A and B are shown apart, each in its own frame.
Chain A
Amino acid sequence: GNSVTQMEGPVTLSEEAFLTINCTYTATGYPSLFWYVQYPGEGLQLLLKATKADDKGSNKGFEATYRKETTSFHLEKGSVQVSDSAVYFCALSDQGGNTPLVFGKGTRLSVIA
């Protein structure tokens, strides 16, 4: 079955540091890939997505590129802020528009001023 593996946290960075959270997936066909963010006490928010190979999703300074050859979708940000502290989830869904999301375990990021 489909699965997502992301780096275990927690990750602690100083403000303005470079962020990378690794994510790899196993899936048949050509899934859509996502990064979701969960702030304390809240639900999940879609951060960015990519629906085909070589697509780059970007939002709020975060980027991730769909790499089919390495089955990866690593999340990056050039300069993190304290407000980026949250839990980040990598996820995939099969093509088809209405298939369930399969999530990684989540990576907790703490940014220190």
Chain B
Amino acid sequence: GENVEQHPSTLSVQEGDSAVIKCTYSDSASNYFPWYKQELGKRPQLIIDIRSNVGEKKDQRIAVTLNKTAKHFSLHITETQPEDSAVYFCAAPRPNSGYSTLTFGKGTMLLVSP
């Protein structure tokens, strides 16, 4: 099955700094890589995703990059704000479900200090 490794497990930054979270995956046939944000006590929600036919995607202060050769993708948050504090999960499709389900990384707790 797909193996998704996520680093770091915790990340503390000052407001206004940038934050980068990295994930690696094992199945070279995977072609969809979403990122979910989960605020404390809330449900996970999709914030951005990328497909294998592009190398980078941006949405305001967040961006995701994909390196298919190296099998890793990263989430970049610029000009961080306290409301960015949350747990972030990367994911990749599970090949042993016909790619109809996702395997999630173990999460990164991001803390943005004012």
Asked if A pairs with B, the answer is no
Which A residues lie at the B interface, using CB under 8 A? Answer: none
